[in-house]
């Protein structure tokens, strides 16, 4: 009896390991196996195939014939990257120990609408005498009594204590410019924490869905997303947000949240944001390469998709004439709006 119990316990202990091995060996660790595993992951879990009208079966047919069993890792990586580029998604990255693929055509071909040299030479000055820094925020009061906050990355942590100090310092200003141009995203917690300083009421900012199955249209019902107002210092005056096409991911989320607020006048000025509304998810290929991709689509408060970016209220590009005079057209236009 004792021997039977021991055998049963050994069998139970081995089951997880056996199950894990079956999953890992679903596709072989060779060029064909890695190709098929990657294609299947995107086919079953990527969230924008139907929305973007991508025929993923046709993509399989096109690229499978290019996979050679004896091809090198570098050639395989290049081929798989090219296949992923058909998704036109900056959140889709294939990573090996050697390199990472990145799709960047979502901002190529657009006016840049940001000149760092002009910003510092004409408007901010130096860190020692022109502006203050608190965590990831650079801020200043201009001579015309307009406040300015520059936030370069949502990966740069910003605490509530930082926001209290910054908003208290800027409180005498007639209006506020928030400059998130070239901000490629980062932590959604920072996006929510900052946006919460601009509303006095619980605000519907959008909806999210989650994949529920392998089918391209297997999604949960839309779940509402709300922004709760901060319990600390909140800004009540007019705000202008400066955006360009390189605003992506968490920055796209921040702009959407700010534009959903109704009890503070908030104007988006510049160019359409880059989008990137799908929350990313990661998986792994048999050879250990990781694949990151969009898995949960995000919509605005009117249930409209945000993946392709958010159009500005005031569309404007930096003019060549202003740049020759070391002026930032977007900042000058924001001055005009906030001084009205």
Pairing of strands 298-300, 203-208: antiparallel
CB 216 within 8 A of CB 50: yes
Pairing of strands 203-208, 279-284: unpaired
pLDDT at 9: 37
CA-CA distance, 183 to 245, in Å (whole number)? 10
- Asked whether residue 288 is domain-assigned, the answer is no
CA-CA distance, 75 to 65, in Å (whole number)? 14
pLDDT at 41: 97
The average pLDDT across 223-230 equals: 97
- Asked whether residue 2 is domain-assigned, the answer is no
Whether residues 96 and 184 share a domain: the answer is no
pLDDT at 173: 97
Whether residues 145 and 99 share a domain: the answer is no
Domain range for 326: 110-199+234-274+309-339
pLDDT at 8: 38
Q: Give the neighbor-by-neighbor strand order of the sheet with 203-208.
A: 223-227, 203-208, 298-300
pLDDT at 129: 80
Whether residues 155 and 260 share a domain: the answer is yes
The average pLDDT across 96-115 equals: 94
The average pLDDT across 3-32 equals: 49
Whether residues 192 and 125 share a domain: the answer is yes
CB 154 within 8 A of CB 187: yes
**Where residue 153 sits, what CATH number does that domain have?**
3.90.226.10
The mean pLDDT value of the chain amounts to 91
pLDDT at 300: 97
Is the model's pLDDT at 5 over the cut of 70?
Answer: no
Whether residues 181 and 320 share a domain: the answer is yes
- Asked whether residue 284 is domain-assigned, the answer is no
- Asked whether residue 254 is domain-assigned, the answer is yes
pLDDT per position as a tens digit, 286-321? 999 999 999 999 999 999 999 999 999 999 999 999
The average pLDDT across 68-81 equals: 97
pLDDT per position as a tens digit, 147-179? 999 999 999 999 999 999 999 999 999 999 999
Whether residues 49 and 183 share a domain: the answer is no
pLDDT at 130: 87
pLDDT at 154: 95
pLDDT at 19: 29
CB 158 within 8 A of CB 193: yes
In the chain, % of residues over pLDDT 90: 88
Whether residues 62 and 119 share a domain: the answer is no
Whether residues 42 and 181 share a domain: the answer is no
Whether residues 144 and 266 share a domain: the answer is yes
Last residue of one domain, picked from the residues 79, 108, 137: 108
CA-CA distance, 14 to 205, in Å (whole number)? 48
Which band of pLDDT confidence, cut at 50, 70 and 90, is reported for residue 20? very low
pLDDT per position as a tens digit, 107-146? 998 999 999 999 999 999 987 788 999 999 999 999 999 9
- Asked whether residue 283 is domain-assigned, the answer is no
Q: What Cα–Cα distance (Å) separates residue 147 from each residue in 198, 263, 294, 312?
A: 15, 19, 36, 21
Give Cβ neighbours of residue 296 (< 8 Å, ≥ 6 apart): 47, 208, 209, 210, 211, 278, 279, 281
Of 11-15, 309-313, 326-330, minimum mean pLDDT range: 11-15
Cα-based angle 198, 199, 202 (whole degrees, multiple of 5): 145
């Amino acid at each position: 009896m004792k021997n039977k119990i021991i055998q049963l316990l050994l069998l139970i202990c081995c089951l997880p390991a056996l199950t894990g091995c079956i999953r890992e060996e679903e596709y072989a660790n060779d060029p064909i196996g890695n190709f098929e595993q990657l294609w299947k992951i995107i086919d079953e879990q990527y969230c924008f195939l139907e929305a973007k009208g991508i025929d993923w079966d046709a993509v399989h047919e096109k690229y499978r014939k290019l996979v050679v069993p004896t091809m090198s890792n570098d050639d395989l990586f290049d081929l798989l990257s090219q296949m992923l580029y058909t998704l036109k998604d900056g959140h889709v990255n294939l990573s090996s120990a050697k390199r990472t693929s990145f799709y960047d055509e979502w901002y190529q071909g657009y006016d840049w609408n940001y000149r760092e040299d002009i910003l510092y030479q004409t408007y901010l000055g130096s860190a020692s005498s022109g502006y203050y820094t608190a965590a990831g925020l650079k801020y200043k009061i201009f001579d015309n009594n307009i406040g300015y906050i520059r936030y370069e990355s949502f990966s740069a942590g910003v605490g509530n204590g930082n926001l209290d100090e910054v908003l208290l310092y800027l409180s005498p200003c007639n209006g506020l410019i928030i400059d998130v141009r070239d901000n490629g995203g980062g932590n959604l917690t920072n996006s929510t924490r900052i946006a919460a300083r601009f509303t006095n009421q619980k605000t519907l900012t959008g909806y999210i869905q989650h994949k529920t199955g392998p089918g391209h249209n297997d999604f949960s019902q839309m779940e509402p997303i709300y922004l709760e107002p901060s319990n600390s210092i909140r800004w009540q005056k007019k705000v202008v947000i400066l955006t360009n096409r390189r605003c992506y991911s968490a920055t796209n989320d921040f702009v959407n949240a700010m534009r959903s607020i109704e009890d503070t006048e908030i104007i988006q000025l510049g160019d359409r944001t880059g989008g990137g509304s799908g929350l990313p998810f990661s998986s792994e290929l048999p050879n250990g390469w990781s694949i990151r991709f969009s898995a949960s689509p995000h919509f605005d408060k009117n249930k409209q998709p945000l993946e392709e970016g958010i159009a500005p209220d005031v569309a404007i590009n930096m003019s060549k004439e202003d740049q020759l005079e070391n002026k930032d057209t977007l900042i000058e236009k924001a001055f005009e709006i906030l001084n009205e």
